[in-house]
């Protein structure tokens, strides 16, 4: 059980029961993504590694799980007035697709420098896009204003109970498929995937250690875990665009501070090497953010010899030019 006595009384902190409910809501819409293995990766880590391939999820990332669950949980009045979200890309695409499938209007606030592939996909799913400058403007304030003007529901990318519960279904599926783990390693941006994964891991594999991984340039989560409260930082710069956040969510941290063993960081160079490994040895495309957890293991940041390790590959949405440029640079 998670102790939430110190959390704000206004927080609805999800539990594993909410993850199980989310699994029912998203069934038939979200893909049950494969779990991949590699003898080469196992040899590098001297461990048994199980990669949950959310880069093969609908809309190209785990975000579809939480977005679809959040939209499916809306009442009829809220569905008619639509949803608003802010995102650098993966949540944008996921919510746009989830809303389209359920006949709900969607407006997405995206940074001007979001990857073109993510902007194009969000438009293709039928969402209205509002652009902002991530280094000078407050995306949350813009989104709250738009939601108020339209009487729409704000569905943030991570600080939301139904989003967290939906994201937790990825780890649920992973553990159901491969059995109990010694360690589960999860990318960390705002904390939705890590918090949801922690709920599932605690319930299904109680002895499993839970570790989050974020970009070295933006270690707000690591600082927060060390300090015991949410730490805010200036917008970091990293190729891991999906993890460029200034702080973890309040709902998320209410879970993370009681469940996560550690949070570590990796460099952009380590992310590139991990992208290269997946492309060359496992024949899959994983975006920089999606490589965070794997980089910590494959680049030796986390030692896990002799362990059974679950690794979340959170997304594969990277445009081919950027992918080629990153892998070509030495």
DSSP secondary structure string, 162-227?
HHHHHHHHHHHHHHHHH---SEEEEE-SSSHHHHHHHHHHHHH-TT-EEEEEEETT--HHHHHHHH
Q: Evaluate the CA torsion angle 260, 262, 267, 272 in order and state its sign.
A: negative
Query: Is 227 a known active-site residue?
Result: no
Query: Is 214 a known active-site residue?
Result: yes
Q: Evaluate the CA torsion angle 219, 221, 225, 227 in order and state its sign.
A: positive
Q: What is the pLDDT of residues 35-61, one digit of tens each?
A: 999 999 999 999 999 999 999 999 999
Q: Quick one: pLDDT at residue 90?
A: 85
Average pLDDT of every residue of the chain: 94
Query: Is 88 a known active-site residue?
Result: yes
Tell me the CATH class for 16-61+160-328.
alpha beta
Q: Quick one: pLDDT at residue 303?
A: 96
User: Looking at the predicted structure, is the pLDDT value of residue 113 above 50?
Assistant: yes
Q: What is the pLDDT of residues 284-324, one digit of tens each?
A: 999 999 999 999 999 999 999 999 999 999 999 998 999 99
Query: Is 314 a known active-site residue?
Result: yes
Tokens of 194: 């890590």
How many Cβ atoms sit within 10 Å of the Cβ of residue 112?
11
* H helical segments located in 60-125: 63-72, 76-81, 90-101, 116-124
User: Looking at the predicted structure, is the pLDDT value of residue 9 above 60?
Assistant: no
Q: Quick one: pLDDT at residue 34?
A: 98
Cα–Cα dist 98/29, whole Å: 9
Partnered with residue 268 across adjacent β-strands are: none
How many Cβ atoms sit within 10 Å of the Cβ of residue 231?
18
Tokens of 103: 């006949």
Q: CATH number for the 64-154 domain, one of 3.40.50.620, 3.40.50.740, 3.40.50.720, 3.40.50.1100?
A: 3.40.50.1100
| Proportion of the chain above pLDDT 90, given as a percent | 85
Q: Quick one: pLDDT at residue 330?
A: 65
- 220, 221, 238, 290: the catalytic one is 220
Per the model's pLDDT, the better-predicted residue between 126 and 116 turns out to be: 126
Query: Up-side HSE of residue 245: CA atoms within 13 Å toward CB?
Result: 26
- 54, 314, 315, 316: the catalytic one is 314
Q: What is the pLDDT of residues 159-202, one digit of tens each?
A: 999 999 999 999 999 999 999 999 999 999 999 999 999 999 99
Query: What average pLDDT does the segment 231-241 reach?
Result: 93
Q: Quick one: pLDDT at residue 134?
A: 83
Q: Quick one: pLDDT at residue 11?
A: 84
Query: What average pLDDT does the segment 145-167 reach?
Result: 96
64-154 matches 16-61+160-328 in CATH topology: yes
Tokens of 207: 């002895």
- 18, 214, 216, 287: the catalytic one is 214
- 18, 66, 87, 88: the catalytic one is 88
| Proportion of the chain above pLDDT 70, given as a percent | 97
User: Looking at the predicted structure, is the pLDDT value of residue 8 above 50?
Assistant: no
Domain-wise residue ranges, the chain: 16-61+160-328, 64-154
Query: Up-side HSE of residue 91: CA atoms within 13 Å toward CB?
Result: 36
Q: Which region among 10-14, 92-96, 230-234 has the lowest average model confidence (pLDDT)?
A: 10-14
């Amino acid at each position: 059980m998670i102790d939430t006595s110190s959390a704000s009384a206004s927080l609805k902190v999800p539990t594993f029961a909410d993850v199980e409910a989310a699994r029912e809501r998203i069934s038939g819409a979200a893909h049950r993504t494969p779990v991949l293995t590699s003898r080469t990766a196992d040899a590098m880590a001297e461990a048994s590694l199980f990669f949950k391939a959310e880069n093969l999820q609908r809309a190209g990332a785990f975000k579809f799980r939480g977005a679809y669950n959040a939209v499916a949980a809306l009442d009829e009045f809220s569905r008619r007035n639509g949803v608003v979200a802010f995102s650098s890309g993966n949540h944008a695409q996921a919510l746009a697709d989830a809303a389209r499938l359920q006949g709900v209007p969607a407006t997405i606030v995206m940074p001007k420098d979001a990857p073109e592939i993510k902007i194009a996909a969000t438009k293709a799913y039928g969402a209205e896009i509002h652009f902002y400058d991530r280094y000078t403007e407050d995306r949350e304030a813009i989104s709250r204003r738009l939601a108020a003007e339209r009487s729409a529901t704000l569905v943030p990318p991570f600080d939301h109970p139904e989003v967290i519960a939906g994201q937790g279904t990825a780890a649920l599926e992973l553990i159901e498929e491969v059995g109990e783990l010694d360690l589960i390693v999860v990318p960390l941006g705002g904390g939705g995937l890590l918090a949801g994964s922690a709920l599932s891991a605690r319930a299904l594999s109680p002895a499993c250690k839970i570790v989050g991984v974020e970009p070295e340039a933006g270690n707000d989560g690591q600082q927060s875990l060390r300090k015991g409260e949410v730490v805010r930082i200036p917008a970091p710069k990293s190729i891991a665009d999906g993890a460029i956040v200034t702080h973890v969510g309040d709902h998320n941290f209410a879970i993370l501070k009681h469940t996560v063993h550690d949070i570590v960081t990796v460099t952009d160079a380590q992310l590139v090497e991990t992208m290269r490994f997946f492309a060359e040895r496992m024949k899959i495309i994983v975006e920089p953010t999606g490589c965070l957890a794997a980089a910590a293991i494959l680049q030796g940041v986390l030692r896990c010899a002799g362990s059974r390790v679950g690794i979340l590959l959170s997304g594969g949405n990277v445009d081919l030019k950027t992918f080629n440029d990153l892998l070509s640079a030495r």
